[in-house]
Structures are given as C-alpha cells and as structure tokens.
C-alpha cells in the first residue's frame, strides 16, 4: 500500500534522525527537484552515505543541529521531459554542489538513461561524491585562498582530499624485481637480476633504487678463462613523457655503482688470480611500461651508459676482459604498487 505524502515526509525526517547532530561533519542533500519516487531518493541517499563513510562524513536530508552547519549542499534537478536519442531515452540530471569549505558552486550533468533503472540511484550517488571531492581538491592548489580553506577544513575533508590526490596520481610506492643483461665494449657480457623499489614524485617524476647481482659469461684467452661476479646499486630518476590507457613511456637518467670480482682458471703455463675493484657508470634509459592491472605492471628498460670508473682484468700485462667503454643494457621487470 502506498503511503501518503505526509507519511513519506515523516519517514524521511525519521531516517535522518540524529544526522548532522553532534560534531560529525555532514553534507545536506536536496532531491526535491529530482522527479523520482521518495523510495528512489532514499536509496540514492543511502548510497551516498556509504560512499562518504570512508572519510567519516554523513549525508542527510535534514539536520537536527543548526549549530553544526553542513559542509556543502548537494542539489539534483532534471528537465521535465526526457530526450529521445535514437532508441535510447536520455534522463539527464544536473548535480550541483554549493561548497561551504571552498566557498564556490560547481555542477555537472549525468545521463542516467545509460544505466539500468535499478542502478541509477547508485550512479547518481557516485557522481555527487566525485563532484564534492573534486571541489574540495582545490585545497591542494598552492594559492592563498586554497591555503585558507585547508586551514579551516575539518580533518575529514582533508582526508577526502588526500584520497582524491592518491587516486589521481596512483600509488606513491612500488616494489618489484627484474631480470637484466648488459654488454660492455671492454668484453664483459653479464646476466642477473635486481630487486626494485620505486617512488612516485610530484609532476611526472619517478625515483627508483635497484639492488642487483650479475654474473658474467666466461672470457677465454690463451692464458685461461676469466669470469666475473658483480654486486651493483642502481639509482635512477625518470619522467613519464607519454601515458596511454594501458601503457606509459618514461625517459630518465641513472647510475650503476658497484664492485666486480674477477676470478681466473689458468692454463698450465700461467697461474690463477682473483681481482676485485669498484666501478661506476652513468646512463640514459628509456622505459616502456605495460599495465597489467590497476596495481601491477611490466617495465621494460633499455639503457646506454658510459664509465666514470672502469675495471680491467689483466693477465701477463695485457687486458683479458673489462667493464669499460660503452655499456648497452636491457631489463624486463614486474612491479606492484603498494
């Protein structure tokens, strides 16, 4: 049985009992110009409450605490006549936010006709939540007005802004590993692996640190065979120069700082030795990165380097193999954003 308008209004007030009271921040909802049933308005309100719950903010039709003003008023309105486009009916509504935190009004339109009837309330709640948080995100700008708004904003609003920033920029930290190969003009051919830690910096920049181990393929000569083992630390700084829906491209500079240990297996006429020394290389690198999911990706790096300090293994006064000259490198990795 359908309730009378008075009973519906009373139900709505009762559902809002306690909302906006006390010290908990809240936003006021005005659905009076939205041409749907009271039950649909209630469902949209509940969906918006769920959406804002993670930052500790309530959504209410009414408040029982006039001394606790709302952070914003969210108003929904729609044209009286839906628009037909081909076989699809457009149900365009306007979502407006009068934001008391940043002292401005913003709005957006959303076509609810693109959604099944049972999902329209949720779509509207998501659109209202996004618009509200986008308005608050103005506080992250480096202006005096934004700084004043941030100082006056409650902690719940600041938490919402931080989450908008994190969602828009992605996770700040990523952890992964990679397989790597390197070839040196001086003769060394190496293969190995790294563990990788990466930080996202402001703008396009990314800082990463890799710690790795390499082992060289044996170099043979009349004096015997020489092989090398390498421990290396590789810091790098890159900038994303292109970004697509499932991939991005980063250009950067890096260095390789480490220690190589050479060991020899001599022929009968010579004697074996071991030799270790420090090396340093500077590089430029190009890294295409393929996104596998929201958190996982495959970075593929190509590098060209030149030595600051090279190392040569000597035998009977002549060079047998060396980490010297131009370095060409490549790596294939897997990383997960934390």
Beta strand 58-60 pairing with 26-33: parallel
**What percent of the chain is predicted at pLDDT more than 90?**
33
Tens of pLDDT along 148-184?
Answer: 766 767 777 777 766 665 555 555 799 999 999 999 9
- Backbone dihedral region for residue 320 (phi beyond 0: left; psi -120 to 50: alpha; all else: beta): alpha
Domain layout of the chain by residue ranges? 5-169, 173-337
Label residue 94 exposed, middle or buried (CB < 10 Å: 0-12, 13-18, 19+): middle
Q: Is the pLDDT of residue 329 over 90?
A: yes
**pLDDT mean over 286-297:** 91
Residue 310, pLDDT above cutoff 90: yes
- Cβ atoms of 241 and 251 within 8 Å: the answer is yes
What is the average pLDDT value for the chain, to the nearest integer? 82
Count, residues in the chain: 338
Q: CA-based angle 171:201:106, to the nearest 5?
A: 70
Number of H helices and number of E strands within the chain? 5, 18
Task: Quick: pLDDT tens for 242-260.
Answer: 888 788 999 999 999 999 9
Q: 10 Å Cβ neighbour count for 331?
A: 24
Contact present, 320 and 297 (Cβ < 8 Å):
no
Whether domain 173-337 has CATH 2.40.160.20: the reply is: yes
Residue 171's pLDDT is 58
For residue 159, give both structure tokens.
């938490």
Q: What is the pLDDT of residue 162?
A: 67
Q: Please compute the mean of the pLDDT values over residues 39-54 and round it to a whole number.
A: 88
Find the Cα–Cα–Cα–Cα dihedral 192, 332, 308, 272, rounded to 10°: 20
User: In Å, how far from its chain's centre is CA 294?
Assistant: 8
For the chain, give the percent of residues with pLDDT over 70.
78
User: Residues near 226 by Cβ (< 8 Å), separated by ≥ 6?
Assistant: 218, 219, 262, 263, 264, 265, 313, 315, 320, 321
Q: What is the mean pLDDT of residues 107-116?
A: 86
Residue in the structure block whose two tokens are 């469902």 = 43
For residue 193, what pLDDT is reported?
97
DSSP of 252-263: EEEEEEEEEEEE
> Which pLDDT does position 17 carry in this prediction?
44
For the residues of 207-276, what is the DSSP string, one character each? Answer: EEEEEEEEEEPPEEETTEEEEEEEEEEEEEEEEEEEE-SSEEEEEEEEEEEEEEEEEEEE-TTS---EEE
What lies within 8 Å, CB to CB, of 55 at 6+ separation is 156, 157, 159, 160, 163
189-247 tens-digit pLDDT: 999 999 999 998 877 899 999 999 999 998 877 767 888 899 999 999 999 998 887 88
Query: Looking at the predicted structure, is the pLDDT value of residue 79 above 70?
Result: no
pLDDT at residue 170, as a whole number: 54
How far does CA 130 lie from the centroid of its chain? 18
Predicted pLDDT of residue 178: 97
pLDDT in tens, 117-150: 888 889 888 888 888 888 887 776 656 666 676 6
């Amino acid at each position: 049985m359908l309730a009378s308008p008075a009973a519906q209004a009373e139900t709505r007030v009762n559902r809002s009992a306690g909302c906006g009271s006390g010290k908990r921040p809240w936003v006021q909802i005005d659905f009076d110009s939205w041409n749907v049933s009271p039950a649909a308005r209630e469902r949209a309100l509940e969906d918006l409450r769920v959406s804002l719950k993670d930052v500790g903010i309530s959504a209410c039709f009414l408040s029982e605490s006039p001394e606790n003003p709302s952070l914003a008023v969210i108003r929904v309105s729609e044209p009286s006549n839906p628009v037909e486009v081909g076989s699809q009916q457009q149900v365009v509504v306007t979502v407006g936010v009068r934001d008391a935190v940043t002292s401005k009004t913003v709005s957006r339109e959303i076509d609810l006709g693109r959604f099944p009837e049972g999902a329209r309330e949720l779509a509207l709640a998501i659109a209202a939540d996004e618009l509200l948080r986008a308005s608050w995100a103005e506080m992250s700008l480096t202006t005096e007005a934004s700084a004043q708004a941030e100082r006056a904003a409650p902690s719940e609003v600041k938490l919402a802004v931080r989450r908008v920033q994190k969602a828009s920029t992605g996770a700040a930290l990523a952890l992964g590993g990679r397989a790597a190969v390197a070839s040196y003009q001086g003769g060394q051919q190496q293969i190995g692996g790294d563990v990788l830690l990466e930080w996202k910096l402001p703008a396009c920049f990314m800082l990463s640190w890799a710690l790795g181990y390499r082992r060289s393929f044996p170099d043979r000569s009349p004096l015997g065979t020489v092989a090398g083992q390498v421990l290396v630390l590789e810091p790098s700084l890159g900038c994303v120069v292109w970004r697509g829906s499932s991939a991005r491209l980063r250009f950067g500079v890096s260095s390789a700082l480490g220690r190589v240990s050479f060991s020899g297996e001599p022929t009968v006429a010579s004697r074996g030795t071991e030799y270790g020394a420090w090396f340093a290389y500077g590089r430029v690198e190009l890294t295409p990165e393929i996104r596998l999911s929201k958190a996982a990706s495959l970075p593929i790096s190509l590098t060209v380097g030149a030595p600051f300090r090279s190392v040569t293994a000597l035998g009977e006064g002549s060079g047998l193999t060396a980490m010297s000259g131009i370095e060409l490198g490549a790596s294939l990795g897997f990383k997960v954003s934390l």
